Amino acid sequence: MSRPAVLALHYQNDVLHPDGRIRVGLAAEDPARQRVLDAAAALLGGARQRGWPIIHVRVAYRPDYADLIQNAPILKAVAAIGAVQEGSWGAEFYEPLAPKAESPDEYVVKHSRINAFYGTPLDILLRALKAERLLIAGVATHSVVESTVRHAVDCGFEVTVAADACASASPAAHHASLDSMRLIAEIGDVRSALETLQ
């Protein structure tokens, strides 16, 4: 089979940095926060060692949010708190998990909805890479991760979710989302996913 592709969703300053505007229930001193960061770093490092393509997906909007249709509570909240404005520090990738600009196997896709496929070249890129299997992780589990996983499955991709490299605003939301996705995707941790998808 073709090599899997990794989708790393929203590893951005506003989402992961302690000074970011979007709270995902991970305080700076919370051990759970460091576990998520460590798992995400292991995911990216493992993919790089194996030569797997990594698509880093970021969300960003114009500073005036004229390009954001605020038709859902989560989207209204983004504008209300002034998060992920294009050109701002908050919209940039969190440095420890940022793409390697010099790598031919790493790509960046920007989106503006909840699902990373919607209105982006993500599907075309994955087809060009001949990817059939996706390893997906990111923040937050119950929004961009689950929405993207569902779309990917509908597009015919086999999907594995690296649960320990995901997080939500509450552990309950995180676990509920993972339980929901078990019907359509494999749910595992980074270590097992990297080994299984060899």
pLDDT per position as a tens digit, 87-102: 999 999 999 999 999 9
- Residue 32 has a pLDDT of 82
What DSSP letter does each residue of 12-77 carry, written as one string?
BHHHHSTT-SS--S--TT-HHHHHHHHHHHHHHHHHHHHT--EEEEEE-B-TT-TT----SHHHHH
The region of weakest confidence among 15-24, 61-70, 102-111, 167-176 is 15-24
Please check the confidence at residue 27 and state whether its pLDDT lies above 70.
no
> pTM above 0.85?
yes
- 10-38 average pLDDT score: 86
Q: What is the pLDDT of residue 120?
A: 98
Q: How far apart are CA 5 and CA 160, in angstroms?
A: 10
Structure-model confidence comparison of residues 172 and 30, the more confident one: 172
Which structural domains are found in the chain, ordered by start?
Answer: 5-196 (3.40.50.850)
Tokens of 112: 């503006």
